[in-house]
């Protein structure tokens, strides 16, 4: 990959409208409540919600004036009380390989002195576009290979803030009808949409923010709005075992496990959550994951760390451990970040590892590192948000 200096542009901020709550990112129930609060009669709530839903999530409307099938009177009422503001985009970086990273700032909440920053990454390929969203600001976990893990948790993102990342991304890449498509980087050329897949692999542990992630998945997958197939929405966890069944039964999302080691002693170091939920418990939860099948395989992420977890014996043990689980394995060459305690495995090592896994019958793509020049690759996300100590660990921590 060409490691040319990234294009960095500071963008005009502020789609935040003077104190008016935004409807962007709201659930159907939330929209209904907002409509009721401005006097829309109960008998009309459902129909009006459907109209707003279409304009916000299907068309990406930026102003109430665009909503041609909504009466002028209601548009004026909506405009007086609400906005269609997106969170502020502080900066956009475009990698030489077309990967885009946005630093997104959410307005302060609950007495916060300043807004919360998260990063959101778009990875275009010829036949798909994958958006990697964050679920928390920072992270309580401290996976030793992960740059984000060096930032303490600031807070959970709300459902609205998670969905707003997808709306902002689609704005930026012209993925709503009639919007201008950027010409300054690779975009998918096949298929009808630029964001075809969503992965919860940005900042944070999604299953420590379960309710908001579940509700966000339902909005992302709503067929009358953003309309992403649940088969193309993947939630990645470091292994919060008690929440895994609910992810399948309540959200219906695809599951990815940040595995990275085949022995508890090593995984305790790489993914310290393993001390609480060791491999046996994690793999048992995977075996019974609701909806898993050969057509809906669980992804196991395995970062290749030189001299740490990359021997042929470990590849064979990986195959043994995953027996009975409909699985695919993503081998991820380690993406270094400043001060990282690991190096990426040699290429021959990765190929040998991949061959063993492949010969055992598993798809084992080696994920091409993307966006390395803008620190947008896996495990490299870390915003500059003030690092506040988490006041309380979250429910299941
Ligand atoms: S890999 Fe995920 S869970 Fe682990 S520290 Fe990084 S963001 Fe947190």
Shortest-distance Cα residue to atom 4 of ligand 1: 143
Q: Is 139 in the pocket of ligand 1 (CB under 6 A)?
A: yes
Residues shown for the chain = 397
Put residue 325 in one of left, alpha, beta given phi > 0 → left and psi -120 to 50 → alpha: beta
- Alpha carbon 119 to its chain centroid, in Å, reads 10
Whether residue 149 has its Cβ less than 6 Å from ligand 1: yes
pTM here?
A: 0.88
Is the CB of 132 inside a 6 Å radius of any atom of ligand 1? Answer: no
d(CA 234, CA 237): 10
* pLDDT score for 372: 65
Q: pLDDT at position 97, please?
A: 85
Measured from the CB, is residue 148 less than 6 Å from ligand 1?
Answer: yes
Which residue stretches of the chain have pLDDT < 70? 1-18, 364, 368-397
Tokens of 332: 């991820």
Cα 147 to ligand 1 centre (Å): 8
Query: Could you give phi then psi for residue 20, rounded to 5 degrees?
Result: -90, 125
The closest alpha carbon to 212, from 247, 249, 260, belongs to 247
Site to substitute for ligand 1 among 139, 204, 241, 269, most atoms within 8 A of C-beta: 139
The mean predicted confidence, pLDDT, of the chain is: 87
Does any ligand 1 atom lie closer than 6 A to the CB of residue 205? Answer: yes
Active site residues: 119, 378
Distance 237 CA to ligand 1 centre (A): 8
Say how many Å lie between the CA of residue 161 and the centre of ligand 1: 19
Query: How far, in Å, CA of 88 to CA of 105, rounded?
Result: 5
3 state SS of 212: helix
**Distance between CA 46 and CA 288 in Å, rounded?**
37
State pLDDT tens for residues 326-368: 999 999 999 888 889 999 999 999 999 999 999 999 876 777 6
Pocket test for ligand 1, best of 205, 243, 342 (most atoms within 8 A of CB): 205
**The predicted structure's pLDDT at residue 182:** 84
């Amino acid at each position: 990959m060409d490691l040319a200096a990234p294009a960095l542009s500071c963008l005009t901020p502020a789609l935040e409208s003077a104190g008016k709550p935004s409807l962007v990112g709201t659930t159907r129930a939330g929209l209904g409540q907002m409509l009721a609060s401005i006097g829309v009669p109960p008998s009309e709530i459902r129909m009006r919600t459907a109209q707003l839903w279409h304009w916000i999530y299907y068309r990406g409307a930026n102003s109430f004036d665009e909503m041609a099938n909504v009466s002028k009177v209601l548009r004026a009422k909506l405009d007086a009380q609400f906005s269609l503001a997106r969170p502020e985009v502080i900066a956009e970086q475009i990698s030489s390989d077309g990967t885009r990273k946005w630093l997104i700032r959410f307005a302060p909440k609950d007495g916060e002195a300043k807004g919360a920053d998260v990063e959101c990454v778009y990875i275009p390929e010829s036949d798909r576009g994958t958006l990697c969203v964050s679920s928390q600001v920072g992270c309580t976990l401290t996976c030793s290979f992960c740059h984000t893990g060096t930032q303490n948790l600031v807070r959970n993102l709300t459902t609205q803030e998670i969905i707003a990342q997808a709306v902002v991304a689609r704005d930026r890449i012209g993925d709503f009808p009639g919007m201008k498509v950027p010409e300054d980087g690779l975009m998918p050329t096949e298929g009808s949409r630029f964001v075809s897949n969503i992965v919860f692999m940005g900042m944070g542990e999604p299953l420590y923010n379960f309710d908001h992630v579940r509700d966000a998945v339902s909005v992302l997958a709503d067929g009358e709005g953003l309309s992403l197939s649940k088969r193309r929405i993947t939630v990645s966890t470091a292994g919060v075992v008690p929440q895994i069944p609910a992810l399948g039964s309540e959200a219906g999302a695809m599951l990815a496990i940040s595995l990275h080691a085949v022995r508890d002693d090593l995984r305790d170091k790489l993914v310290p959550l393993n001390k609480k939920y060791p491999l046996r418990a994690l793999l048992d939860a995977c075996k019974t994951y609701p909806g898993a099948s050969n057509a809906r395989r669980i992804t196991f992420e395995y970062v290749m760390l030189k001299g740490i977890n990359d021997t042929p014996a470990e590849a064979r043990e990986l195959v043994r451990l995953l027996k009975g689980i409909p699985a695919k394995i993503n081998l991820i060459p380690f993406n270094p970040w400043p001060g990282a305690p690991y190096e990426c495995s040699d290429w021959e090592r990765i190929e040998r590892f991949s061959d063993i896994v492949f010969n055992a019958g598993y798809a084992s793509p080696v994920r091409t590192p993307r966006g390395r020049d803008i620190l947008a690759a896996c495990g490299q996300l870390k915003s500059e948000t003030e690092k506040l100590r988490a006041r309380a660990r979250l429910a299941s921590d």
